[in-house]
Amino acid sequence: MARIDTLSNFLTDVADSIREKTGNTEPIACEDFDTEIESISGGGSANLQTKSVTITENGTTSVTPDTGYDGLSSVSVTTSVPTSSLPDYGFVVNEWTNGYPKIVQIVGFTQLISSYFGNNNVWSHTEQIILPNNFVILGSAFSNMSGLKTINTSLLTQLNENAFQNCSSLQTVTLPEGLNATTSRFTNSIFSQTFKYCSSLDNITIPSNVIRLGYECFRDCGNLKTLNWGSIREIGPDIMANGGGSSNGYVFYNCSNLEIDELPSNLTTIRGNYNFANCRKITISKIPDGVLTIPAYTFNNCTGITDLDINNVTKIDVQAFSGCSNLNIDNLKNVTTLGAVAFLGCDNHSLITIPDGITVLNSNTFNKNKMPQMSMNNVTTIYSSTNSSVFMSATNIVAFWIGSAITNNGLGRYSLLSSNVANYKRIYIDLPRATVEAFTNYQYAFCNNASRTTIIVCNDDSGFITKTQFDAIDWSTYTP
């Protein structure tokens, strides 16, 4: 629009232009309007230095000179259309709210890349996006659209990582069957951070052709309650073609309302840390047959898990079940590697024997557990320090049975020390007394006072019992 010489002509032209551009076929572009007029002179003995004029998308205009003033020396025109221009192609604004697009329909093209919408304040109040058929999202196209509530994702053909990150108002998502599950960056992977921080999302349908959930894809979706697993086989960081990728998982991290009673039966891999941490409502009772490793912090603070069959798991990493205060695992079955603090705070843990495959016990593994006894046949090493023994704060434990595999170097100072050491009834060691007393840390390995070594019973002492006999005793009530 060319600059106008008179205020009345300017306002009339602006109003007409806005009225012409508020239909359903062409968006308003701010560059169509002059936003300021200078040096409009007026007569009289006094001049009003500045007068604001408000313009809305409906063409409303208003200027009323103050009483006693005869002219305007400067007029500042403010429009409720956002200062950033709307694009001049590809979009139709079907409905406005307070000068911002509320319902936007995409026309004229079939894919978006980068964070086109999310990084432009123009779209911060957009509540609905209408996509055309066979639409492709490449990259973080809609990320940071905090007002977005609904989008017809059922028309998507491809979806990449970060697409809806920080869409905190998005509620329900249905992804179509046949959705392209391969990106240029990752092999057979989608959804890395795709719905991260979508705090209002409460339900999602995953198509059956999707086999992997990438890292952080539902992180901090605190309102997410249900999801169908589809054909998911892998949970966690994507593995790139060159073998690289993120070490963190966080797939369902802080999904505090997520209600899962079982993991997908064809699940083979849980990769990365913290994948279900703080999911306090999940109530799974079995780890699927194909899963061999529980990574660090996987079920940290999952207080809804009670009896759990770990099935074929061979490795439980650092703090994998820490904070699972209602967890009960009575058999570690095939486990050969048990990480430090793996069962910290598992108050209901009823495990009483370490399987033969485990040879090393790490610090704080059973901290704050309440089992009354523990036997270990093939353990060679029990790590400890002054402040972090394996059974620290295991207040109910009163008896141990240790096999002949234990070594001098493997028996650390305070190895079996706990806050309940004063109540220990017996520690059986399947070695001759001379061998045991020759251990460097003999006097302090089992208690914090050298005078209390009389509770140790070696295999050449009267009263020694076998592991089978030991395991058959309920030491919570037995007095030797």
Tell whether 110 is covered by a domain.
no
At 385 the pLDDT is 65
Domain end residue (candidates: 79, 94, 112): 79
Tell whether 444 is covered by a domain.
yes
Domain end residue (candidates: 48, 64, 79): 79
At 42 the pLDDT is 41
At 257 the pLDDT is 97
Q: Is the pLDDT of residue 59 over 90?
A: no
Could you read off the pLDDT of 271-285 as tens digits, one per residue? 999 999 999 999 999
Cα angle vertex 47, ends 46, 52, to 5°? 150
User: Which residues in 107-146 belong to E strands, given as ranges?
Assistant: 111-113, 128-130, 135-138
Cα→Cα distances 276→149, 154, 263, 402, Å: 26, 27, 11, 34
For the residues 233-257, what does the mean pLDDT come to?
A: 75
At 411 the pLDDT is 86
Tell whether 29 is covered by a domain.
yes
Q: What percent of the chain has pLDDT over 70?
A: 73
Lowest-confidence region among 105-109, 124-128, 242-246, 269-273: 242-246
For the residues 237-243, what does the mean pLDDT come to?
A: 52
**Beta bridge pairs of residue 401:** 375, 428
For the residues 281-303, what does the mean pLDDT come to?
A: 96
Those residues whose C-beta lies under 8 Å from the C-beta of residue 115, and which sit 6 or more positions away, are 139, 140, 141, 142, 143, 144, 162
Q: How far apart are CA 35 and CA 4, in angstroms?
A: 11
At 428 the pLDDT is 95
For the residues 342-348, what does the mean pLDDT come to?
A: 88
Domain end residue (candidates: 48, 79, 110): 79
Cα→Cα distances 124→104, 116, 170, 350, Å: 12, 12, 13, 53
Tell whether 56 is covered by a domain.
yes
At 321 the pLDDT is 96
At 155 the pLDDT is 86
Joined together, the tokens standing for residue 378 give 């093939």
Tell whether 435 is covered by a domain.
yes
| 142 vs 67, more confident | 142
Asked whether 75 and 53 are in contact (CB, 8 A), the reply is yes
> Closest Cα to residue 185, out of 215, 206, 207, 209?
215
At 47 the pLDDT is 46
Could you read off the pLDDT of 420-477 as tens digits, one per residue? 666 788 899 999 999 998 998 887 777 655 555 458 899 999 999 999 999 999 998 8
Average pLDDT, the chain: 79
Q: How far apart are CA 288 and CA 276, in angstroms?
A: 15
* Amino acid (1-letter code) at residue 193: Q
Structural domain range at position 438: 353-365+372-480
Cα angle vertex 208, ends 206, 211, to 5°? 85
| 47 vs 307, more confident | 307
Q: How far apart are CA 230 and CA 208, in angstroms?
A: 4
3 state DSSP class of 458: strand
Could you read off the pLDDT of 349-395 as tens digits, one per residue? 778 899 999 999 988 888 888 888 999 999 999 887 656 788 888 87
Lowest-confidence region among 56-60, 62-66, 289-293, 349-353: 56-60
Place of tokens 């704080």: 364
Instruction: Note every long-range contact of 311-315, with CB atoms under 8 Å and residues 24 or more positions apart, other chains counting.
Output: 311/286, 311/287, 312/287, 313/287, 314/357, 315/339
pTM: 0.78
At 72 the pLDDT is 47
Asked whether 458 and 429 are in contact (CB, 8 A), the reply is yes
Could you read off the pLDDT of 122-160 as tens digits, one per residue? 788 899 999 998 888 877 888 899 999 999 988 888 888
Tell whether 195 is covered by a domain.
no
At 113 the pLDDT is 73
| 418 vs 210, more confident | 210
> Closest Cα to residue 217, out of 190, 245, 257?
190
At 185 the pLDDT is 53
Neighbours of 160 (CB within 10 A): 23
At 192 the pLDDT is 81
Give the count of domains, the chain: 2
**Beta bridge pairs of residue 137:** 112, 159
Tell whether 43 is covered by a domain.
yes
Asked whether 38 and 74 are in contact (CB, 8 A), the reply is yes
| 314 vs 211, more confident | 314
At 447 the pLDDT is 65
For the residues 11-34, what does the mean pLDDT come to?
A: 47
Tell whether 432 is covered by a domain.
yes
